[in-house]
Chains A and B, each alone.
Chain A
């Protein structure tokens, strides 16, 4: 099939799913935080508030698009564009699964496989800093400026240990392409322990995965800081800076920053999944693990049907059976032979990435914010030496055992 046509098709599909997922990520975040704090969360629009992202989007689109009179217009309008475009670029190099065959066409479940895939994500997040910094500066507002400066200083400081933590698995897999990195993690040792980054053993006599686990923890901490999320959300600390760098932004321009934050989260979680958690590879050998995704969905469907029959609130009589049937349908799709090789890797990839995203939300619901000096001391006094030391150890181990 024509390369351009195929790419265009994949591009449309990925863009649609990704942007919808970003909107729903916000719903999930609000719901999870609400339940952690023993609240209900959004529940007015649609069943369980499921249509909330839609109405939020409509609200943001129809709000007055205000450009304050005292701003530097060119940079003020350019900043959200830089932020959101750089955040959305990352998904282009992230693979979602192995090579598949649809209607006789063989293709990779990925937009493009670059041999510098990891670096593209790092570069895009590096350029994305300009969006935040310029937004802070061009707003001509002291709170926005402080927020922008904080954001850029923080992101540069944490980019260093992030890059060092990412370098550790790359040293072992000996590639910069994300697909090859996942392929290097195939196999099991002792018959059941997966050869994922954090459990990596490969051909060596020594399980290097122990040190990769340290790298993974470093990576996660840096990922939080890199995306300006709690506990590192100093750039938008509400009680100090009103809203930080986006205080002067309204309507879609505000939504652009919002979307950039969530897109960055998804990208960095997918990067962590591919480098440390084995990407789309299942946690135990395929003959046994292939039944797990349909079983989980079927269980969910049966539970929904059961609670729909023994309903407590009147509307559950209708909503829960619908969800039950949807879940059972997804379970059946996982068993259908033509869809199986597509959906099962996708399930493992999405569940691992989803777990990391859940960890983001979980941390946001539980941890307080750092003070700015603590943040910087933590980056340069702890994260940097530990990641350099860890990289040295892994380098020595690679030289000795691989």
Chain B
């Protein structure tokens, strides 16, 4: 059961990611990204990380992507036109780069093939519940957590400043 669900949603997340890049229309791309996030949330759920799954849905799918979608709809962005000519450098470097990329990908997959010690089992995550996440955030990772919040504050201030300038 778990394996079947894992297969379905792993396939779905990869398929949505591919569709997101291949789609011409920005709304379809945004929705495919939401599909990726939803599938990832279910994969977290399968691993037993319930809180992270819910947070993934609430924060990414429920808040951030809605804002993306609103902006796309407000601008009423249509389908992207196909680029008329591709640059020579891109065409020349494309083939070797994809070989390098595939090689790196294969290497990563190869080194992360699970051995007996690192085998992942379903519903066995020990760090995904609300208690664990809270504990980790407020004890071990307190400093990075605080620094991140300052970073977010700076981003908000930056947005306010930019919006101000626009109005004048």
Tell me if A129 and B62 are in contact (CB < 8 A): yes
Given known A-B contacts A115-B129, A137-B73, A149-B70, A127 and B51 have beta carbons under 8 A apart: no
Cβ of A23 < 8 Å from any Cβ of B? Answer: no
Given known A-B contacts A75-B27, A120-B54, A127 and B61 have beta carbons under 8 A apart: yes
Cβ of B74 < 8 Å from any Cβ of A? Answer: yes
Task: For A248, list chain B residues within 8 Å (CB).
Answer: none
Cβ of A176 < 8 Å from any Cβ of B? Answer: yes
Tell me if A116 and B51 are in contact (CB < 8 A): yes
Tell me if A126 and B57 are in contact (CB < 8 A): yes
Task: Report the separation of the CA atoms of residues A296 and B92 in the bound assembly, to the nearest whole angstrom.
Answer: 83
Given known A-B contacts A149-B70, A152-B66, A137 and B50 have beta carbons under 8 A apart: no
Tell me if B130 and A176 are in contact (CB < 8 A): yes
As a 0/1 sequence over residues 120 to 134 of chain A, the CB contacts with chain B under 8 angstroms (1 = contact) are 101101110110011
Cβ of B137 < 8 Å from any Cβ of A? Answer: no
| Interface residues of chain B: helix, strand, loop or mixed (majority) | helix
Given known A-B contacts A114-B50, A119-B51, A126-B62, A133 and B70 have beta carbons under 8 A apart: yes
Given known A-B contacts A133-B66, A133-B73, A119 and B61 have beta carbons under 8 A apart: no
| Interface residues of chain A: helix, strand, loop or mixed (majority) | helix
Given known A-B contacts A148-B73, A149-B74, A127 and B130 have beta carbons under 8 A apart: no
Additional 15 contacts, C-beta under 8 A, given A127-B38, A133-B66, A156-B67: A119-B51, A119-B58, A123-B54, A123-B61, A125-B62, A126-B63, A126-B66, A127-B61, A127-B62, A129-B62, A130-B34, A130-B69, A149-B73, A163-B58, A176-B51
Cβ of A233 < 8 Å from any Cβ of B? Answer: no
Interface contacts (Cβ under 8 Å), in number, total 67
Task: For B27, list chain A residues within 8 Å (CB).
Answer: 75, 137
Task: For A236, list chain B residues within 8 Å (CB).
Answer: none
Please list the residues of chain B having a beta carbon within 8 angstroms of any beta carbon in chain A. Answer: 27, 31, 34, 38, 50-51, 53-55, 57-58, 61-63, 66-67, 69-70, 73-74, 129-130
Candidates B54, B61, B67, B69; contact of A116 at CB < 8 Å? B54
Task: For A148, list chain B residues within 8 Å (CB).
Answer: 73
14 A–B pairs (Cβ distance < 8 Å), ordered by A: A115-B50, A115-B129, A115-B130, A116-B54, A119-B54, A120-B54, A123-B57, A126-B61, A130-B31, A136-B73, A137-B27, A137-B69, A148-B73, A152-B70
Question: B87 to chain A: closest CB distance in Å?
Answer: 33
Question: B53 to chain A: closest CB distance in Å?
Answer: 8
Task: Report the separation of the CA atoms of residues A136 and B72 in the bound assembly, to the nearest whole angstrom.
Answer: 13
Please list the residues of chain A having a beta carbon within 8 angstroms of any beta carbon in chain B. Answer: 75, 114-116, 119-120, 122-123, 125-127, 129-130, 133-134, 136-137, 145, 148-149, 152-153, 156, 159, 163, 176
Tell me if A156 and B66 are in contact (CB < 8 A): yes
Task: For A116, list chain B residues within 8 Å (CB).
Answer: 50-51, 53-54, 130
Residue of A nearest to B54 (CB): A119
Task: For B50, list chain A residues within 8 Å (CB).
Answer: 114-116
Task: For B54, list chain A residues within 8 Å (CB).
Answer: 116, 119-120, 122-123
Task: Report the separation of the CA atoms of residues A127 and B67 in the bound assembly, to the nearest whole angstrom.
Answer: 12
Residue of A nearest to B130 (CB): A176
Question: B107 to chain A: closest CB distance in Å?
Answer: 36
Task: For B130, list chain A residues within 8 Å (CB).
Answer: 115-116, 176
Question: A121 to chain B: closest CB distance in Å?
Answer: 10
Task: For A156, list chain B residues within 8 Å (CB).
Answer: 63, 66-67
